[in-house]
Amino acid sequence: MDNLFLKIDSKENELFLIFKGEFTLYQIKRYQNLINEIKLTKYIKVIIDLEDLTFIDTGSSIYINNLYNKILLKDIKVIIKSNNSNILDTLSLVRKIKQTDKPLLYDKKRGFMDSLGKVTCNLFSGFFSFLAFFGELFLNTLSLFKSTKNFRYKEILFEINESTIKALPIIALASLLVGVVMAYQSANQLSLYGANIFIVDMLGLSMLRELSPVLTAIIIAGRSGSSYTAQIGAMKITQELDAMRSMGFDPYKFLVLPRIIALMLMMPVLIFVSDTMSILGGMIVADLNLGISFNLFIDRFNNVIELRHFLVGIGKGPFFAFLIALIGIYRGLKVKDDTQSIGYNTTKSVVESIFAVIICDAIFSIIFTNLGI
């Protein structure tokens, strides 16, 4: 029987598999179908003749070795004939590699203590890694005050424009809509008790002290904090950070500190814009639904809302900005050498930043309440 470069012949109780020419991965399927049709149990000896074979690749070598072992398992004597040293070396190499391969250990289901230990170890490792980052950042911050030349004014101004000024439209729009929603939802309830004017008190206190700072921080965490992670992560993958170090430039002074300083300087401005737009949205709803004119709203606002409420909200800004920038940059430096890691750390950056902002806001609320501020 002849087919391409495989000849199958038999003589008494012996079977001859004669391969000719080149035997590559692409012929395996066809040869295998032909050999599978043979009833090997009729023979006591099989000769795999590779004398006329001129070339064999690793794929076909694996097939020959598997065929050899398969026939042996049937208690049939097998002989491989070849005088070509290259072919014999290839077969030997494949056989040797296969023998040295260790089977994968069965991954048993982790027990409770094993899982708890792994989670605890990861938490401590991440905590100490963050401390190391924070310590290096602190040392670089101290070096800024040795000389004004250490301040990267151009980089700081660039980050102010990219991270905050370009975020003004979305913060203004979001705050306006939140002010409208808050006032609209409160208007119906207040009108039932004839307490329309108290919408000014509610909006002033809630927006200035809590909602505007937190809303602004969440938007900045999703916009600027994530961009810090993605930018620095991409620079790490492309080895730009290593290139900067090799040229004598400290990434902390050129990439980290300008971003943190820019965000801390501009966050109070963003919160002020958020305060203004949210109160404006409340004024519009109060005028349309409750008949409270702009002048009456502003007079009541001036009489009821003290300056300290405004300052409390503004004062939270630098702290929120520091947390957002710190976490965003730290996550960027934790990116590994693959693009999937950028997405993972960017997501972690946003989630951790928002969580940190909420915790920080809760701490401020407890402190200010106990101090009577």
pLDDT at 100: 55
User: Are residues 159 and 308 located together in one domain of the fold?
Assistant: yes
User: Are residues 146 and 258 located together in one domain of the fold?
Assistant: yes
User: Are residues 204 and 149 located together in one domain of the fold?
Assistant: yes
Can you read off the two tokens belonging to residue 368? 């200010």
CA–CA–CA angle 35, 100, 71 (5° rounding) = 20
User: Are residues 150 and 292 located together in one domain of the fold?
Assistant: yes
Decide if 110 is inside a domain.
no
User: Are residues 72 and 168 located together in one domain of the fold?
Assistant: no
Instruction: Find the length of the chain.
Output: 373
User: Are residues 90 and 138 located together in one domain of the fold?
Assistant: no
CATH value at residue 68:
3.30.750.24
Residues 6+ apart with CB under 8 A from 19: 5, 6, 31, 48, 49, 50, 52, 53
Decide if 120 is inside a domain.
no
Decide if 119 is inside a domain.
no
pLDDT at 109: 61
Nearest to 214 by CA among 67, 303, 317, 72: 317
Domain count, the chain: 2
Decide if 105 is inside a domain.
no
**Looking at 61, 85, 100, which one is the last position of a domain?**
100
Decide if 135 is inside a domain.
yes
Decide if 13 is inside a domain.
yes
Average pLDDT, the chain: 84
Contact 357, 217 (CB under 8 A): yes
Nearest to 238 by CA among 97, 337, 96, 122: 337
User: Are residues 72 and 137 located together in one domain of the fold?
Assistant: no
pLDDT at 156: 87
User: Are residues 238 and 333 located together in one domain of the fold?
Assistant: yes
Question: For the whole model, what pTM was predicted?
Answer: 0.66
Decide if 27 is inside a domain.
yes
pLDDT at 3: 45
Neighbour tally for 39: CB within 10 Å: 7
User: Are residues 131 and 257 located together in one domain of the fold?
Assistant: yes
Contact 79, 67 (CB under 8 A): no
Decide if 115 is inside a domain.
no
Nearest to 63 by CA among 36, 25, 93: 25
pLDDT at 237: 86
**Residues of the chain with confidence (pLDDT) below 70:** 1-4, 98-111, 147-148
| Domain with 180 in it | 126-371
Residue 304: CA count within 13 A, CB half-sphere? 17
User: Are residues 44 and 143 located together in one domain of the fold?
Assistant: no
User: Are residues 317 and 269 located together in one domain of the fold?
Assistant: yes
Q: How far apart are CA 31 and CA 22, in angstroms?
A: 13
Contact 286, 183 (CB under 8 A): yes
User: Are residues 203 and 342 located together in one domain of the fold?
Assistant: yes
